[in-house]
Chain A
Amino acid sequence: MTSDQGNGRVRSGRHVITAANLTVGYELHRERQRLTALRDVSLTVDRGEFVVLVGPSGCGKTTFINAISGLVSPWEGTIEVNGRPVTGPGPDRAMVFQDYALMPWRTVEQNIRLPFELQDLDISEEERDERIRRYIDLVDLGGFENSFPYELSGGMKQRVGIARALVSEPDILLADEPFAAVDAMTREAMQGELERFVSATGQTVVFITHSIDEAITLGDRVVVISYRPGQIKEIVDVDLPRPRFDYDVKTLPAYTELRERVWGLVKDEAFQTARGATP
């Protein structure tokens, strides 16, 4: 993925995330069973790349992101971040959650401060305050510092979630369907904002979505994952010029072609899931 023409994003070619023959799943203690969510997945992600995972519900996308974040450990194979095996969560990775996962007893400002309280970062108090202010401005929440999450709309809550993930300036931003719970108009606006944030910070992004349009408008690569156990079905390169939200990318013929191609890959999986069939 080092060749990069007309894409506008900086890529060093260095692998930030390397998954090799990764197999991972969940123990279902009560039933004395275990469920394989991902089987034998190998994927490398370059610095500054925006990778989108698409696939039917239950295909293991979230498990893959959890393996990168360190919330679950591999059963087989390896997962490395910056050349080191993942043993647990770390300040080089941050996550944006579908249900925002904001602490309801904390104000906007206190929620964004959370990573600083939990991580042992070598940053002065002034620098922390300055960064919190900067990221509140970046996500356009100036004036809402002392509001509580329940006082905010869904879109605003997710912008708090994004600021919280960006404030410690991690190398990798993980996003698990971050816009699934916000309304359609807000969603489009926020996709554009996310593109702006990460092109400003140069972060590597691994992003999960159910929406093919969201995948193509945001991603440098779209990774299609098949249904249970999840395996990589195909990787689609998206060579549409950036920033894509400055023009209507959806009117390009290349966009339509990409859309058809991804839909063709996802379609069978989606129907299989809808029928409840197990492969």
Chain B
Amino acid sequence: MEDKNYPQAHKKILASIQYPQIGEAGKTGTWRTMRPLIHEDKCIVVKTGTHNCHLCWLYCPEGVVSRTIPPTIDYDYCKGCGICAQECPHNAIERLEEGGAKACPA
């Protein structure tokens, strides 16, 4: 383990230390079978331009929905659990089958 952050001691002896890193379990987006898609035309935060909802941010266990206008989802790590779509009071989040035609608009 070579890194500037690693204390010298742990290069001479091995101690079981871990350091913060994104994607500890890899790109967990690959676990996903259903992809959440935010329809901005239905999203109250986008429509009003104010931070008056963000329930998708609140309830995401993984913390991959942003608290921004518009909200965005980090698909690299979103596990596709569907909580955001379920909890959205405005039905602005649609769940699409991963790999299906609609799921990859770009």
Q: Does A pair with B?
A: no
Question: Residues on B close to A: CB < 8 A?
Answer: none
